[in-house]
Structure 1
Amino acid sequence: MNKQQKKNRLLTSIAIILASLGLTYAPLPGLNTETTVTVVSGSELQEILPELEAKFEAENPNIDLELKYQGSQDIVNKYIDDGNDFTPTVLIPANGEIFKELESRWRSQNNSEPFYNKPEPIAKTMLVGISWPERGRVLFPNNRFEWQRLKDAMLTGNWEKIGGKLEWGSFDFLTTNPTRSNSGQLTLTLFAKSEIGGGNLNPVSLNNFQVEFLFDLVKRSVYLPPRSTDILLQEFITRGPNEADVATVYESIALHRWEQSQTTQGRAYQIYYLDPTIETVSTAAIASRNVSDKTAAAARE
C-alpha cells in the first residue's frame, strides 16, 4: 500500500466517523453558554479524533470538546468504579462487546440505564502485526505472519538461534496488557486459536495445557505491557530494532504512525495482515452518569 492509499484510507475512516456520529456542525439552539463534552476513546482513534475536534469546535463555538484516551477495558472499569477525575460524556471503546460487559456490570449495581442512547458503531479496524523489515524477513520468510514462528522465537528468545544476526540480541515481542486493552485480548485470542488448531475458544480449550503454557510464555516474554495500543506503538517506534522487534496493534494506528517510524528510525515498519484476524468496530454511546440533558444533546451533535 503506497502513501496516497494510506491517506485515502484515513480520510475514509474520518468520513465514516463524521457521518456515523451525526456531526452536522449546525449550531445548537438554546445553548448560550459553553457546554463541555468529554469523549473517552480507545487509543485506536487517537490520531483521528483531534482532526474532528478542531473542525467541530470551529463550527460549534458553544461546545468545548475534550478528548481522553484509555485502554478499552480501562474505559469500562473506570466508568463502573467512577474512577475518572472527569465526567465522561461519550464512551468509545474498541468494540460493542465491551459495552455489553459495561451494561451488565452497571445493571448489577444500578436501577437506571447506563446510556442515553443505544451504542452505535462508528469506525472499523482490525488487528495486524508489525515488524522492522530486516527482522520480518527472517521471522516470516514467506512474508506471512505466522503465530507458530512467533511462538518459536519467544521460546528461543534469541535472534541468532532462529536465523537472525548475533548483534540483534534477544527477541522482543510487544502487545498490550489484556486486562486493560482490547488489542491485548484480541492478540491472546488469535494466538490461542492458532495453538489449538482453530475453532472457537471455550472454558475447556482455555484450560488446555497448550493454551495455559502459551499464555504463561507471553506473560514471561512481554515486559511491562502498555495499557493502550497507541502507547505501545509509540514505544515500538522509539525503542526501534533490538529493543522492539514484533508487535500486534490496530491497523488504523499502524497506518497513522507508519511515516513517524520512517522519520524516527530511518526505515518504516512492515505491516502484516493476519489470517485469520479479528475485526473490531469502535462503538460510541452517550453516558448517563452525571451527564445533563443539555450535555447529552450537545454530544449528539
Structure 2
Amino acid sequence: MKPKVFIILGFLVAVGAVLFITSSNGDKARQQGGAEAAPSQTRASGPVTEISFLYSTEKKEWVESAVAGFQQENPSIRVKLVGKGSLESAQAMLDGKEKPTVWSPADSAVLRMLESDWSTDPQRGQLFATSGDDAPQPLVITPLVFVVWEDRAEVLQKVSGGVVSWKAIHKAVASDQGWPAIGGKSEWGFVKLGHTDPTRSNSGLQAMLLATLEFYGKRSGLTVGDLLKPEYQTWVKELEKGVTRFETSTGTFMTDMVRFGPSKYDVAVVYENLAISQLANAQGRWGNLKVYYPALTLWSDHPAALVQADWVTPEQKDAARKFLTYLRSRPVQERALAFGFRPADPSVPLKTQDAANPFTRLAPQGIQVDVPPVAEVPEGPVVRNLLTMWSRVVGTAR
C-alpha cells in the first residue's frame, strides 16, 4: 500500500507544479499584454474603414512618410498603399486588375488618357468627378528637365541659342559624326541620350510630348494629325537613335548616369525631383553634372483622383476625402520639399532658411525656382496616338 501512496502523492505534486507554472505564465502574458496595449489606445475603438491608394512610384518616399503621419492621427482609417508606374496602373484599372479608392498618376496626361479609354464603354459610368472637391487636384509638382554633363551642355547651348534643346540633340544624334557634328570632341563619340520607354514610363511619355511640341514650334494644340506626318515620324526615329536602351524606370538610368558617367549617358531627361536626389552623388566623379531647363517644359502635377466607380463605398469616399485633405495640408506639403518636390500648395515657399532645402543648396548645379513656360497637356486621344506612333516608328525597330 505504501508504494501506491507515494505514487499518488507524486502525481498530485506534479499536477500542482504544472498548475503553478501555467498560472505564472498567464500572469506574465497579462502583464506583457498590458504593455503592448498601451500603443493600441491610439487604434480605433470602432470599425475601421480601409481605402486603397494607387500611386506612381516617383513619390514613394513622400507618400510613405505622409501616410505614417495620417495613420497616427486617423486610427479609424487604414490606407493600403499600392505603388505602380503611371501607365501600368492606368492599364491595370482599365483591365479591372486594380480597383483603388484613390488614384494618383505622375501627371494629368495619363489621367486624361485613362478617362478617354474608360469612356469608350458607356456602361462603366464616370470614373472621376469633373468638378467640385472630388475632381482630380495636384498633390505635388515637378517639371521635366535635362541632366547633362557640363562640358557637353556647353556644346549643345552654342548651337541652340544658349539653351539645351531637342533640335540640338537631334542634330548631334542623327549625324554619323556624333559629337563633332555640332562642335564637340571626337573622343566623346556618339551622343548618348537617356529617357525611358514612353509606352511604359511617364517621364518617357513626357519627353516625347516635349520633343514633338518643339518640332512643331507649339506650346499647345497638338493634334492627332500632327503625329501622322512622315517628316515628323522620320525626325522622331532619328532622335531615338541616341537611346541605346529604353528603361522602364527613370531612376535606373539616372543612377547609371552617376555610376558610369558620360561613358553611358551624356544627356538624360528626368524629373526635377529625381535629379535633385542624385546631383550630390555625381559631383567629383566624372565632372560637373548639372540641370538644364528646356525652353518648354511639362509639369508632373501628380493629380489625386477620388474614384467614382461602383466599387468605392460611401464610407470609403468619406475616408478618402480626409486622407486627401491631410496630404494637401500645409505641414505635409512643406515636407515635400525635403524629397525634391515643389508643393502643390502655392502658399508654401520654395526657398526657406533651411540649409538642406534643395532649391537653395543646389542652385550652383542648375536647380532654379523659376521655370520656363509650361506646355499644355493634350487630350487623351492625342496621348494614346502618340504612344501608338512611337511603337510603330521606334518600338518595332529595336
TM range (shorter): 0.7 to 0.9
**Residue type of the alignment partner of 1:149:** A
The answer to whether the aligner puts 1:152 opposite 2:171 as a matched pair is yes
Specify the code of the residue in structure 2 equivalent to 1:114: L
Where does residue 215 of structure 1 map in the other structure? Answer: 236
Q: 2:183: which partner in 1?
A: 163
Q: Which has more helix, going by share of residues?
A: 2
Q: 1:176 aligns with which of 196, 199, 221?
A: 196
Q: Distance in 2 between matches of 1:124 and 1:164?
A: 35
Structure 1 residue 189 and structure 2 residue 205: aligned?
Answer: no
Pair 298,174 (structure 1): closer, same or farther in 2 beyond 3 Å: same
Q: Report the equivalent of 2:383.
A: none
User: What amino acid does structure 1 have at the position aligned with 2:118?
Assistant: W
Look up the equivalent residue of 2:267 and give its one-letter code: V
Query: Which of residues 122, 132, 141 in structure 1 aligns to 2:149?
Result: 132
Superimposed CA distance per residue, residues 206-265 of structure 1 (whole angstroms, 9 cap, x where no aligned partner):
2233311122123433233122433443343334211011011222322233223338x4
Residue 267 of structure 2 is aligned to residue 246 of structure 1? yes
Between the two structures, name the one with larger relative contact order (CA 8 Å, sep ≥ 6): 1
> CA 1:31–1:123 in 2, change beyond 3 Å: closer, same or farther?
farther
Aligned residue for 1:98? Answer: 110
Range 248-257 or range 153-162, more displaced? 153-162
The question of whether the paired residues in 2 share the 8 Å contact of 1:41 and 1:69 is answered with yes
Higher Rg of the two aligned structures: 2
2:286, 2:320 → 1: CA distance? 41
Matched AA of 2:281: Q
- 1:148 is paired with a residue whose SS is helix
Contact 1:147 1:194 in 2 (8 A): yes
DSSP-derived class of the 2:96 partner? coil
Q: Does the 8 Å contact 1:177/1:184 carry over to 2? A: yes
1:173-200 alpha-carbon deviations (Å, 9 max, x no partner): 0112212233222222222232234364
Deviation of the 1:166 alpha carbon: 3.9
Equivalence for 1:24: none
Paired amino acid for 1:187: A
Report the CA distance shift for 1:112/1:177 in structure 2 as closer, same or farther (over 3 A): same
Instruction: Choose from 53, 62, 85 the match for 2:67.
Output: 53
CA shift at 1:121, angstroms? 2.3
Partner SS, residue 111 of structure 2 = helix
Deviation at 1:298, TM superposition (A): 3.3
- With over 3 angstroms needed to count, the CA separation of the structure-2 counterparts of 1:128 and 1:79, relative to structure 1, is same
Moved more, 212-221 or 115-124: 115-124
In 2 relative to 1, CA 106–197 (structure 1 residues): closer, same or farther, beyond 3 Å?
A: closer
Query: Deviation of residue 284 (structure 1)?
Result: 0.4
Residue 199 of structure 2 aligns to a residue whose secondary structure is coil
185 and 296 in structure 1: CA distance in 2 versus 1, 3 angstrom threshold:
same
**Counterparts of 1:146 and 1:120, CA distance in 2:** 30
Deviation at 1:115, TM superposition (A): 4.3
**Cα contact 2:173–2:241 (8 A) shared by 1:** no
Q: Output the CA distance in 1 between the equivalents of 2:173 and 2:206.
A: 18
SS across alignment from 1:54: helix
Tell me how far apart the structure 1 counterparts of residues 190 and 60 of structure 2 sit (CA, whole Å). 31
Contact kept, 8 Å, 2:51 with 2:80, in 1: the verdict is yes
* Structure 1 residue 138: Cα displacement: 2.6
- The equivalent of 2:124 in structure 1 is 111
Structure 1 contact 45–252 (Cα < 8 Å) conserved: no
Is the contact made by 2:164 and 2:292 (CA closer than 8 Å) also made in structure 1?
yes
Instruction: Classify 1:113/1:41 alpha carbon distance in 2 versus 1 (closer, same or farther; 3 Å).
Output: same
Question: Which secondary structure state, in structure 1, belongs to the residue aligned with residue 212 of structure 2?
Answer: helix
- Report the Cα distance in structure 2 between the residues aligned to 1:100 and 1:161, rounded to whole angstroms: 40
Query: Which secondary structure does the structure 1 equivalent of 2:196 belong to?
Result: coil
Trace 1:251-270 onto structure 2 (pairs within 5 A): 251-262=272-283, 265=285, 269-270=289-290
Aligned-partner Cα distance in 1 for 2:149–2:175: 19
Aligned residue identity for 1:155: A
Q: Where do 5+ consecutive residues of structure 2 fail to align? A: 1-41, 324-398
Q: TM-score, normalised by structure 1?
A: 0.75
Cα distance in 1 for partners of 2:95, 2:213 equals 32
- Provide closer, same or farther for how the CA distance between residues 272 and 94 of structure 1 changes in structure 2, counting only shifts above 3 A: same
Structure 1 gap ranges (5+): 1-26
Partner Cα distance (1:298, 1:232) in 2: 38
Aligned to 1:273: 293
Compared with structure 1, are the counterparts of its residues 128 and 111 closer, same or farther at alpha carbon in structure 2 (3 Å cutoff)? Answer: same
> How far 1:290 sits from its partner (Å)?
4.1
Distance 1:257 1:72, change over 3 A: same
Query: Cα distance 1:97–1:138, how it changes in 2: closer, same or farther (>3 A)?
Result: closer
**What's the offset of the Cα at 1:292?**
4.4
TM-aligned CA deviation for residue 172 of structure 1? 0.9
